Amino acid sequence: TANFSEQVVESFPSDISTGIYYGWACVGNGDVHKMVLSIGWNPFYKNIKKSVEAHIIHAFKDDFYEETLSIVILGYIRSERNFSSLEALISAVQEDIEEAKRQLDLPEHLKLKEDHFFHLPEGKTVNH
C-alpha cells in the first residue's frame, strides 16, 4: 500500500467522491500493475484527515519510499464505509481487489496499461 502525501491529497479535485476505485499504477519507471485506490477518511481507523491510498496488486521485493507513483483511476467500486471488525474490513478489501482484477481485465481497461503516461522520459513529471 502506498499512502499519498498530504500535499497530493489536497491537490486532488474536491468533486471526486470518497470511496474505493480501481485503476493502474506504476512505481518509478517500472512495470504497470493493477491497483485499488481508497479516497476518504477510513472510518474504521477514525482518521481525522482525508487520505488517498493505493493498494498495488503486486508483491514488491523492496519498499519504494520516495519513488514517484503514477496512477490512472478508471472506475468506482463502492462508497467508503465503516466496518464492525478488522475481519470485515479485510474481507471487503479482498472483494474490492477481486472486482478490480475483473474490471481491469476488460479490453477497454487493459489497453490503458500501455499508455505513454506511465513511461515518461527521465526527469519529466505530469500532473493529471
Ramachandran class of 46: left when φ > 0, alpha when ψ lies in -120 to 50, beta otherwise: left
Straight-line distance from the first to the last Cα atom of the chain, in angstroms, rounded to the nearest whole number: 21
Catalytic residue among 6, 10, 53, 99: 53
Grid cell digits, residue 69? 507513483
The answer to whether residue 53 is catalytic is yes
**Cα–Cα distance, 17 to 98 (Å, whole number):** 21
Q: By C-alpha distance, which of 37, 6, 21, 11 is closest to 125?
A: 11
* Catalytic residue IDs: 53
